[in-house]
Amino acid sequence: MNLQIESSVSDALARNQPVVALESTIFSELGLPAPANVEALERCQRAVVDAGALPALTAVLDGVPTIGHADPAVICGPARKVAQRDLGVAVAQRWSYGATTVSASVTLAAAAGIEVFATGGIGGVHRGWSDGGQAGCGDISADLGALARWPVITVSAGAKIFLDLAATVERLETDGVPVLGWRCDEFPAFHARTSGLKVPHRVESAVEVAAIARAHWTLGGGGILVVAPVPEAHALPRDRLDQAVDSALAEAERQGARGAEITPMVLAALGRATDGDSIPTNLALAENNAGVAAQIARALCA
């Protein structure tokens, strides 16, 4: 199998210039509805460039794991979801477009030698994971295992609000993933800046994150999660959000969502339940994460 790394990306890495990996699921039809996905892709890439780094999109294209620039018409179109475990299948079966989730993206970033990755919100432990009664039964995102395994810094607005955030935070601790609050004291809840859960460590600067990462990796550590809250102006009010999440989860349950379908179905239902207001919030937080990731990538290269 060959890993297709665009020459601009491999050149930048060889010259110790900052690169930020991006996932593709969020920009595909599985992530955000058109045309918001096209706008999200443009804004995230621009945020990385404006902060002085090179964006590198991860995807499986015609069966080839690819890192670099890709045709927005493909990236923002119909896709099959590729988590880490699906990478080999997508390659061998030559999937035309496999959109990478966080778990697949950090796998590819690590394979390419990219140290920083930006997403919207990571997957985590689903609500009802232990009680058998809900769609989320037993569902723990592969994002968590991949985060623990690969030595990549992931920048995310916490984890998606419809998850069991307390269980997600605990799981990160068990797996040995440092969670660093980017100028915040609480674990962000994706569309909301707060969750009531404390982050173990607060950081104020990219230089600080870089120093922590270097020390963590010297001691054999894997991934690091930097959580950045959605910018204040774009956060959704908490009460409205809680209601929308309840109705979105109920809708996904009625539709019989299982396994990998759950997250895309709940995200779409959440868009409807907020009359579309969750979409600009999603765009703003993804763009913000991309900019923070670029600052960290620069600090790592300094």
Sign of CA dihedral 155, 158, 164, 169: positive
Q: Does 66 bind ligand PSU (CB under 6 A)?
A: no
Q: With CB cut-offs between 5 and 8 Å by kind, which of ligand PSU, Mn ion, none does residue 158 bind?
A: none
The stretch among 136-144, 182-190, 212-220, 280-288 that binds Mn ion (CB under 5 A) is: 136-144
Does residue 86 touch ligand PSU according to CB under 6 A? no
> Which listed option, Mn ion, ligand PSU, none, makes contact with residue 120 (CB within 5 to 8 Å by class)?
ligand PSU
Give how many residues touch ligand PSU by CB under 6 A: 18
Contact assessment for residue 154 and residue 120, using Cβ atoms and an 8 Å cutoff: no
- Which of 81, 160, 186, 287 does the annotation list as catalytic? 160
Question: From the CA atom positions of the chain, what is the Rg in Å?
Answer: 18
Q: Decide if 198 is catalytic.
A: no
Task: Pick the catalytic residue from 23, 115, 186, 287.
Answer: 23
> If phi over 0 gives left and psi between -120 and 50 gives alpha, with beta otherwise, what is residue 154?
beta
Name which of 36 and 268 has its Cβ closer to Mn ion. 268
**Does 282 participate in binding ligand PSU (rule CB under 6 A)?**
yes
Q: What track of x and - describes contact with ligand PSU for positions 221 through 260 (by CB under 6 A)?
A: ---------------------------------------x
Q: Which of residues 255-274 bind ligand PSU (CB under 6 A)?
A: 260, 263, 267
Residue 116: which of 174, 55, 46 has the closest Cα?
A: 55
Q: Which of 115, 139, 164, 277 binds Mn ion (CB under 5 A)?
A: 139
Please give the distance of CA 134 from its chain centroid, rounded to a whole number: 24
Region at 101 (left for phi over 0; alpha for psi -120 to 50; beta for the rest): beta
End-to-end Cα separation, the chain, in angstroms: 33
> Would you state the structure tokens that stand for residue 297, as one six-digit string?
């990538």
What 3-state class would DSSP assign to 128?
coil
If one counts every other C-beta atom within 10 angstroms of the C-beta of residue 252, the result is: 25
Residues of this chain that interact with ligand PSU (CB under 6 A) are 23, 25-26, 30-31, 101-102, 120-121, 123, 141-143, 160, 260, 263, 267, 282
Residues identified as active-site: 23, 160
Residues of this chain that interact with Mn ion (CB under 5 A) are 139
